[in-house]
Every structure is written in C-alpha cells, then in structure tokens.
C-alpha cells in the first residue's frame, strides 16, 4: 500500500509541476527594436525576434507548449497560434482608433498557446 501511495504521489507531482510553471514576456513593444527571446520551459535556445515599428507581440510557454499573439497599433485584429497546431488565426478584434496594442498581453498569448 505504501509503494502505491508513493508512486501515485510521484505521478501527481510530475503532472502538476508540468502545468504549474508558465513563462512568457513581451517580445515586440511597437518601437521596431529586435529582442532576444530567452530560454524558457518550452524554448530550449534563445532566438532573436525581428520586430517592426507599430507591432506588438507577446509569448507564453510551459514545458508542454508555446504560444504567441501579435497585433499592430494600426491594426484591426490580433493574431495568434501555438505549438498545438492549427496555424495562425485571428484572435480578437481591436478598437479602430487605438489599434491592437492593449490586446497583446500574457493572457492572450496563453489563450493562443492553449487553444491551438
């Protein structure tokens, strides 16, 4: 009985620890300056993201998946996708007077990660 309890505890710990950590950060902040995306749970190597002026992007990762969302300060929609497949797709409509900068957040990147 004790071995079964320890085995179950070990399995639960590994499952829960895989979803407990979630990292992510802003990549592009509208100024056109490129940024290095750091090693994370899913990201095993750093990489340089090339950013354009007026473009905002954010990523979210866990050790099981990676997602990204992006939009323009002059845009009508945000777009996102993740490692689950399904490609890049429109995520949200934006205010035509202010663009999409406010919609590109850690939350929308996690939604893109988890919905693909």
Q: What is the pLDDT along the chain (116 residues), one digit of tens a residue?
A: 444 333 333 333 333 333 434 578 899 999 999 998 888 889 899 999 999 999 999 999 998 999 999 999 999 999 999 998 878 999 999 988 888 988 898 888 888 898 86
Tokens of 14: 């590994």
Cβ-proximal residues to 102 (8 Å cutoff; 6+ apart), any chain: 94, 95
Structure pTM?
Answer: 0.73
Q: How far apart are CA 30 and CA 53, in angstroms?
A: 5
> Per the structure block, which two tokens stand in for 12?
């639960």
Q: What gap in Å lies between CA 45 and CA 115, rounded to an integer?
A: 24
Range 35-41, long-range pairs (CB < 8 A, 24+ positions): 40/66
């Amino acid at each position: 009985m004790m071995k079964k309890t320890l085995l179950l505890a070990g399995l639960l710990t590994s499952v829960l620890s895989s979803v407990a950590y979630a990292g992510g950060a802003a990549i592009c902040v509208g100024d056109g300056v490129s940024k290095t995306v750091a090693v994370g749970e899913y990201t095993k190597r750093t990489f340089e993201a090339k950013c354009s002026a007026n473009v905002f992007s954010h990523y979210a990762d866990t050790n099981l998946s990676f997602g990204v969302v992006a939009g323009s300060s002059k845009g009508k929609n945000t777009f996102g996708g993740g490692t689950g497949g399904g490609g890049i797709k429109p995520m949200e409509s934006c205010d035509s007077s202010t663009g999409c900068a406010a919609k590109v957040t850690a939350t929308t990147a996690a939604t893109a990660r988890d919905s693909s």
